[in-house]
Amino acid sequence: MCQVNWWLPIYPLDRENCMGFYPRYFSEPIVNNSEIYNYYEWNEKSRAQASQHVKSDTREQPKAQQDLEPVTVRLLPPPGGIILFSGAQLHETVPNRAGIARYSIDFRTVHYDDALNRIGALNVDSRCTGTTMRDYLRAADLAHLPEEVVRLYDDGTEVSSSVLYFGDRLTATPAAV
């Protein structure tokens, strides 16, 4: 819930090829099937298939199980501009009806103190398992978050399956790092 997404367009955007946000659902839960998603299983079984799903993605992923009101906020920063938002806030890439490809750079960060103190956006309806906390690297020296911080987010699934660490190094248990 403390993940911050950074999204930067490279070329000009259009209302029909940008990021869309659903502010109503930042505090109102939606019916969804997020419990089907385990981060470790996704990395182990589905991550390597990404290049096979450019035009459409047939991999099972969590989705809303109810009709949502239309996207109510579309941000159009200029090339080199930036959108910062919580990974916990309902957002999407709007269907590209602009007739031109959209190129962007995106990445995700967490602030050490927020992670340590479990400060972040409200979790209104997510039931995913696993954690991305083992993926984050400090920019200054590429050190991982300390294991005592990561353990705050462990839910037991890290020992029931292989854990794929940043850099695609697969190991049987977190203790092997």
pLDDT per position as a tens digit, 127-171: 999 999 999 999 999 999 999 999 999 999 987 656 655 555 444
- Its sign, for the CA torsion 167, 168, 170, 173, is positive
Domain assignments of the chain as residue spans, ordered by start: 4-176
pLDDT at 12: 95
Alpha helices in the chain (DSSP H): 39-41, 112-117, 147-150
Threshold 0.85, pTM exceeds = no
Q: What is the pLDDT of residue 56?
A: 81
Spans in the chain with pLDDT lower than 50: 169-177
For residue 167, the model assigns a pLDDT of: 53
**What is the predicted pLDDT for the residue at 170?**
45
Give CA separation, 108 vs 34, 66, 136, in Å: 20, 28, 8
